[in-house]
Copies of this chain bind each other. A is one copy, B any other.
Amino acid sequence: MPEKIPADSVGLVEPKKLHFDEPLPLDCGRTLDEYDLVYETYGELNAARTNAVLVCHALSGDHHAAGYHSMADRKPGWWENCIGPGKPIDTRRFHVVCCNNLGGCKGSTGPNTINPKTGRHYGPDFPIVTVRDWVRSQARLADRLGIERWAAVVGGSLGGMQAMQWAIDFPERLAHAVVIAAAPRLSAQNIAFNEVARQAILSDPDFHEGRYYDHGVVPRRGLMLARMLGHITYLSDDAMRAKFGRELREGKLNFNFDVEFQVESYLRYQGRAFVERFDANTYLLMTKALDYFDPAADYGGSLAEAFRRARARFLVVSFTSDWRFSPARSREIVKALLDADRDVTYAEIEAHQGHDAFLMPIPRYVAAFGAYMQRVAREVGAP
C-alpha cells in the first residue's frame, strides 16, 4: 500500500466502460455484434483535442497503465515508470488513453464475460482476435472519445505491434507511432514458446475445452507453467544471473524436487500470482494475436510496402539484452521504414534487463523516450 501516493504519479484513477452496439467485423470472418471496452485516462484533453496519446498494452497487460485504484493498492499501473507528471508520457501535457483489449480479462468483452446470446461465459466461443481487430476497436473508442487524431500511439512488445498497425491502417489518425521492444512479426522460436504455453493450458485437465468457468475451476497448472515459461523469455540470461545467480534458498542442496534455487522460487511465485489475476482463455488469445501479427503479409510480404501507407513519424526503441524481440528485430522495422522513406528515430538502449526493460526506469531509455515525447508535445501544441 502506498502510504502516500508519490508526486510524480497520476494518483487515484478510475476505470471507465463504454458499450459499443455497432457490430465489429473481425479478421477471422466472424462479427462481434456488441462489446464493451474498459479504459482509463490520465491528464487533460486540450481544447483543440490534439494532445491525446493512446497507450497499447502487451500480453498480460490491461487498461490500468498508471496510478492507483485505491490507497490500498500495493502496486500502481503497469507503466507507472513511463506515465505521469514529468515522466516520458507527461500527463501535465498529454491526455493518455489506455483500454483493455477485446479478448482481455479485465472488463472488456472477452472469454470471461457473459455472451448476451447465451447468457453464459464466452469461453472458447470468443473469436480469435488479431492486432488489426484491436486497432479497429481502438479507432471506434477514439471516435466515441472525440479524438480524431492521436498525438501518438505508443506501446511496448505486443503494444508496439499495435502502434505499427495503427500507422498502417489509419495513417491520418496518428502523428507519431512509438514502437518499443517489438518485432515486425514473430520468429519460429517465438511461436514455439507460445505453442508450449498454449499446450500447457490446453492439456490441463481443468481446462475443460475452455469452459472451466462452468466447472468452478481454472486450469491453474497450465496457466502457471505458461507464465513461468513467459518469465524466462522476459528476462535476459544476464539479468537472471544478476538477480538469482545459483543461489540456494536454504544454502544447501536438498536432493529432492522442492524449491532449491532462488530462481525456482521466483518462477513458482510468479506463476502462482499470475493465476490469481489472469484468465487462461485470454492468455491463449493473446499468444495467437502475437503469432498472427504480420503486417507485411497484406503487402506482398514487404514491410516497407506496408509502411508506405503510413504518415506518422516513428520512434523505435530496443534493448541490447532483449532476446525475445532482439534489437535485430527492431532494426528490421527501422530498415523497412527507411526503405519506405518514412521519418524514424531509433534508440538502441544498453540494458541488461532483457525484454522486461521496456517497463523499467532505465535512465537512458527514459531520457530518449521523454525527449521524443517532448517534441511531440510541442508539435501538437500540448500545454
Residues of A within 8 A of B (CB): 27-29, 127-128, 185-189, 191-193, 195-196, 198-200, 202-205, 221, 224-225, 228-229, 231-232, 235, 237, 240-241, 243-246, 253, 255-257, 260-264, 267-268, 271, 284, 288, 291-292, 294, 323
Contacts and interface: CB of A to CB of B under 8 A. Distances in A.
B205 A245 contact: no
30 contacts: A27-B255, A29-B255, A127-B255, A186-B246, A187-B237, A187-B240, A187-B241, A187-B246, A188-B237, A188-B243, A188-B246, A188-B261, A188-B263, A189-B235, A189-B240, A191-B263, A192-B263, A195-B228, A195-B263, A195-B267, A195-B268, A196-B267, A199-B228, A199-B271, A200-B225, A203-B221, A203-B224, A204-B221, A205-B205, A323-B323
A284 B257 contact: yes
B188 A244 contact: yes
Contacts of A29: 255
A318 to B, nearest CB: 16
A191 B264 contact: yes
A303 B205 CA distance: 46
Contacts of A244: 188
Contacts of A221: 203-204
A241 B292 CA distance: 16
A202 B237 CA distance: 25
A186 B235 CA distance: 16
Contacts of A240: 187-189, 192
A225 B229 CA distance: 11
A29 B29 CA distance: 63
Contacts of A263: 188, 191-192, 195
The 9 closest A-B pairs by CB, nearest first: A188-B240, A28-B255, A203-B221, A189-B237, A188-B244, A188-B263, A128-B255, A195-B264, A196-B228
Nearest to A328: B237
A225 B27 CA distance: 30
A256 B198 CA distance: 12
Contacts of A204: 221
A199 B232 CA distance: 14
Nearest to A200: B225
A292 B253 contact: yes
Contacts of A237: 187-189
Nearest to A204: B221
A185 B246 contact: yes
A269 B155 CA distance: 36
Given A196-B267, A202-B257, 13 more contacts: A28-B255, A186-B246, A188-B241, A188-B263, A189-B235, A192-B228, A193-B232, A195-B263, A195-B267, A200-B200, A204-B221, A229-B229, A323-B323
